[in-house]
Amino acid sequence: MSAQREMKEKNPWPVTIIIIVIGVIVIVALVTVAVLQNMPLSQKYKYGIVLDAGSSHTALYIYEWPAEKDNNTGRVQQTHVCKVQGPGISSYASEPWKAGESLMACMQEAQQRVPGKRHLETPLYLGATAGMRLLNMENSSASDAVFRAVERSLHTFPFNFQGARILSGQEEGAFGWVTVNYLADRLEQGLETTGALDLGGASTQISFVSSNYDGSESPSNSVTFRLYGNNYNLYTNSFLCYGKDQAMKLLLAQQTLLAPKTIVDPCFHPGYSEAVSYSGLYDSPCVSNRKPQGAPEAFNHTGSGNFLQCQDVVKSIFNFTYCKYSHCSFNGVFQPLLQGHFGAFSAYYFVMDFLNLTDTSIPLTKVKEVISSYCATPWDEVKRQHPGVKVKYLAEYCFAGAYILTLLTEGYNFTSDSYTQIEFIKKIKGSDAGWTLGYMLNLTNMIPAEAPDSPPLPYAGYVSFVTVMAVLLFVLVIVSTRRFWLRCSKRPQIV
Ligand SMILES: O=c1ccn([C@@H]2O[C@H](COP(=O)(O)OP(=O)(O)O)[C@@H](O)[C@H]2O)c(=O)[nH]1
């Protein structure tokens, strides 16, 4: 019996399925390894603490940023703010140890908030502004004693304390500008920058970039930066004594010259009446040279609530006429032409927010009407209408509204058009507008002079690219080996 040869077609599917399964496993493994290898590391954060020792109060800010990405724009965020109880540190000139003590509660809070393993590496800064500038001018040994007391307190905490110092007005203005533009992501993207208007208790700052200003006229107002590969020539000026509280002292001092015993102040509400001691009014170098001869112990401060008259008195604390430059703001200070948008923060915001005037599309005539109506409201009624607001602030918002309007329009020369370019702000993306963030970014070198190199593809793009390439490779292998497998499957087999 002849052997029966049976021709059988070999079934190709088992082999094909095995190849596909192996191929899929290889692709999944390849993509997984690539993805894991390049995945951003689990977020670890670094921290920085800045104490803003202002004239009226001190605030502690904690900032946080991803440990791996120090240089990325907009990555540093404020995570916590603690308002120190009591007045600003300059008020403790006669009992400096209390200045140190006043910071303890907020510092203990910071110790709780910053993870323990980061304490030693967390930089801690204290920057003092115009309140301490004035105390230093008036009594430098008292200001030194206050600094020694706060340094002693801050050294007792486990942070990397970098010292306490007075910022110059120029630094205060420039760092406020850096903060606003950093938070709005304008620096890394090289966008047109936003100007910064800061109104504190003892000084006020204006900072902006103007194409009319190259620093040659009044070079003392120029600050140059190179940030993310762009050069900035910033105009900045700080007016000492033109913060909200010191300007009010200037105004009162002006009025006591005419009526030393009783002032009928148009910037205070009708029915307002308060005894004010002369020593309290003249304790600041802003006004001490104006003390009237043979002044009594105290004077009676009463209100008449007349906005138009208030504007006139407010104007009298400015000198709008003297100017040796091409353009001036006031008091003979150079200022280039205004340009672009402005962010107005600190007391600008507090006051305009209280008066419901943060919307700058409201015409200036209407703004005046609103302030005028607030000023004319009897003092008892004001207190009844706003039971939750500190009485000291309530009494001052009429003056403060008139002062802000005069400062912006007659001082800095904002017109009814350019006024609409101002935005009254408190926070940007959750972080307070103010000099503290810019100060820390500068001291920790967190804004590079040159634009950082960025990977050619973002992470998601990279993952998609690896996946597509792996699939393509697999298809190519299948196609190129297809003939071989077909040939194998068609070769006759002898069983
Ligand atoms: O709700 C508030 C908080 C503060 N202020 C005033 O705003 C000004 C600036 O306050 P800040 O503490 O920011 O200034 P600094 O003390 O830093 O100069 C001071 O005159 C405060 O009296 C205000 O009018 N309303």
Q: What is the ipTM of this complex?
A: 0.96
At residue 495, does pLDDT exceed 50?
A: no
pLDDT at 199 > cutoff 70: yes
277 and 371 inside one domain: yes
- What's the rounded mean pLDDT across residues 195-199? 98
> Is residue 150 in some structural domain?
no
Beta bridge partners of 232: 225
β-bridge mates for residue 126, sequence order: 51, 164
Query: Which residues participate in catalysis according to the annotation?
Result: 172
* Residue 174 located in a structural domain: no
**Binding site as annotated, residues:** 201-205
| Pair 462, 417 in one domain | no
Q: 127 CB less than 6 Å from ligand 1? A: no
Ligand 1 atom nearest residue 245's Cα: 20
- CATH classification at residue 259: 3.30.420.150
Three-class SS state of 86:
coil
- Listed in sequence order, the residues at least 6 apart from 343 whose beta carbon sits closer than 8 Å to its beta carbon are 180, 194, 195, 196, 197, 422, 423, 425, 428, 433
Q: How far is the CA of 408 from the centre of ligand 1 (A)?
A: 18
> Around Cβ 495, how many Cβ atoms within 10 Å?
7
CA of 360 to the centre of ligand 1 (A): 21
Asked if residue 57 has its Cβ within 6 Å of ligand 1, the reply is yes
For atom 1 of ligand 1, which residue has the closest CA?
A: 350
**266, burial (CB in 10 Å: exposed 0-12, middle 13-18, buried 19+):** buried
Of 54, 75, 56, 55, the closest CA to residue 66 belongs to 75
Pocket test for ligand 1, best of 198, 240, 350 (most atoms within 8 A of CB): 350
Determine which residue's CA is closest to atom 21 belonging to ligand 1: 201
Asked if residue 63 is part of any domain, the answer here is: no
Distance 67 CA to ligand 1 centre (A): 34
Q: What is the per-residue pLDDT for 74?
A: 55
Residues 284 and 389 both lie in one domain = yes
Pocket lining: 243 vs ligand 1, CB cutoff 6 Å:
yes
Q: Are 248 and 392 part of one and the same domain?
A: yes
Same domain flag for 311 and 404: yes
Nearest to 188 by CA among 446, 444, 443: 446
Sheet holding 230-240, edge to edge: 222-227, 230-240, 203-209, 195-199, 342-346, 422-424
Distance of CA 229 to the CA centre of its chain: 22
Measured between alpha carbons, how far is 458 from 257 in angstroms, rounded to an integer?
67
Total count of domains within the chain: 2
297-310 residue pLDDT tens: 999 999 999 999 99
C-alpha 255/C-alpha 376 separation (Å) is 19
Phi, psi angle pair for 264, to nearest 5°: -100, 100
Give a yes or no: residue 367 inside a domain.
yes
* pLDDT, tens digit, 9 for 90 and up, residues 416-450: 999 999 999 999 999 999 999 999 999 999 999 99
- Shared-domain flag, residues 381 and 480: no
Give dist(CA 415, CA 419) in Å, integer.
6
Task: Report in angstroms the alpha-carbon separations of 471 from 16, 298, 454, 458, 484.
Answer: 16, 88, 27, 20, 21
Instruction: Looking at the structure, tell me whether residues 409 and 465 fall in a common domain.
Output: no
Ranges assigned E (strand) in 304-380: 342-346
Q: Are residues 471 and 364 in the same domain?
A: no
Residue 20 alpha carbon to ligand 1 centre in Å: 71
For residues 378 and 473, state if they share a domain: no
350 in contact with ligand 1, CB cutoff 6 A: yes
Do 391 and 465 lie in one domain? The reply is no
Is the C-beta atom of 133 inside 6 A of ligand 1?
A: no
For residue 337, tell me if it sits in a domain: yes
| For residue 484, pLDDT beyond 70 | no
Per-residue model confidence as pLDDT tens digits over 117-132: 999 999 999 999 999 9
The parent domain of residue 472 ranges over 7-39+458-494
The mean pLDDT value for 314-326 works out to: 98
| Residues 6 or more apart whose Cβ sits within 8 Å of residue 451 | 188, 228, 229
405 shares its domain with 465: no
Residue 293 lies in a domain: yes
Cβ 244 under 6 angstroms from ligand 1: yes
What distance in angstroms lies between residue 56's CA and the mean position of ligand 1's atoms?
6
* Residue 446 within any structural domain of the chain: no
Q: Which residues are annotated as a binding site for ATP?
A: 201-205
Is-contact 358 349, C-beta < 8 A? Answer: yes
Minimum-distance ligand 1 atom for the alpha carbon of 393: 24
248/386 same-domain check:
yes
Nearest protein CA to atom 3 of ligand 1, as residue: 350
C-alpha distances (whole Å) from 431 to each of 80, 165, 172, 445 are 9, 23, 17, 19
- Given 424, 446, 472, which residue is the final one in a domain? 424
Least trusted range by pLDDT, from 39-53, 200-214, 369-383:
39-53
pTM: 0.86
Nearest Cα residue to 177 out of 414, 344, 359, 349: 344
Tell me, yes or no, whether 94 lies in a domain.
no
Give the pairing of strands 195-199 and 342-346.
parallel
